[in-house]
């Protein structure tokens, strides 16, 4: 479902896929080849949400904000199943693991990975190409090349899946 909120209507590139039971409302921008999967909720009713090219918001994820603090997701990002992002920033090529939470002002820098179930508390930043784990999340180690390659593969797979689902539902 796509809903306007006040004077904001989501801006969705024609190449993007949004599952029929996902919810996108308000001041939301989805750039080229993004995908929003089943039961995901993206509410731009407090501040903007911007999702970059080829990024995927997986099943059951929730994106919301505090006043004046947008959600910014750059290109080639994966937001895993049931992740929660609240006024968070996820830079190019990063991955938010399944069930992970990012709070106001938290930032994953380029190519970083927040492990499944981890909690990145408000205002904390994870350096580029670093694995962070725990609650609260802490940098653990540099990512391996295999992990970086797998994160890229996941994004590419979701772009392909989005195209298939879009074609099947058009």
- Residue 19 confidence class, pLDDT cut points 50, 70, 90: very high
Q: Note the pLDDT of residue 170.
A: 78
pLDDT beyond 90 at 117 = yes
Query: Could you report the per-residue pLDDT of 133-156, keeping only the tens digit for each?
Result: 999 999 999 999 999 999 999 999
* Separation of alpha carbons 29 and 20, rounded Å: 18
Mean pLDDT, residues 5-23 taken together: 97
Task: Give percent above pLDDT 90 in the chain.
Answer: 99
Domains contained in the chain, CATH given: 2-169 (2.160.10.10)
- Residue 169 confidence class, pLDDT cut points 50, 70, 90: confident
- Residue 21 confidence class, pLDDT cut points 50, 70, 90: very high
Ordered alpha helix ranges (H), the chain: 145-169
- Residue 86 confidence class, pLDDT cut points 50, 70, 90: very high
State the distance between the two ends of the chain, measured CA to CA, in whole angstroms: 15
Query: Could you report the per-residue pLDDT of 30-85, keeping only the tens digit for each?
Result: 999 999 999 999 999 999 999 999 999 999 999 999 999 999 999 999 999 999 99
Beta strands per DSSP E along 9-164: 11-12, 17-18, 23-30, 35-36, 41-51, 56-57, 62-64, 71-73, 78-79, 84-86, 89-90, 95-96, 101-102, 107-108, 113-114, 119-120, 125-126, 130-134, 137-142
Question: Which string of b and e fits 44-66 if b means at least 16 CB within 10 Å?
Answer: bebbebbbbbbbbbbbbbbbbbe
* Separation of alpha carbons 93 and 112, rounded Å: 7
Q: Note the pLDDT of residue 138.
A: 98
């Amino acid at each position: 479902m796509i809903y306007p909120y006040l004077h904001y209507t989501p801006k969705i590139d024609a190449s993007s896929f949004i599952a029929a039971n996902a919810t996108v409302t308000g001041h939301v921008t989805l750039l080229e080849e993004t995908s929003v999967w089943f039961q995901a909720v993206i509410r731009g009713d407090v501040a903007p949400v911007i999702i970059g090219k080829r990024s995927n918001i997986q099943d059951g994820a929730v994106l919301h904000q505090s006043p004046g603090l947008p959600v910014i997701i750059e290109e080639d990002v994966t937001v895993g199943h049931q992740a929660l992002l609240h006024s968070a920033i996820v830079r190019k090529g990063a991955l938010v693991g399944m069930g992970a939470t990012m709070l106001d002002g938290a930032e994953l820098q380029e190519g970083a990975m927040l492990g499944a179930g981890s909690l990145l508390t408000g205002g904390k930043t994870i350096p580029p190409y670093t694995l962070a784990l725990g609650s609260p999340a802490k940098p653990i180690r540099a990512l391996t090349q295999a992990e970086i390659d797998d994160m890229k593969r996941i994004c590419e797979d979701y772009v392909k899946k989005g195209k298939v689902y879009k074609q099947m539902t058009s």
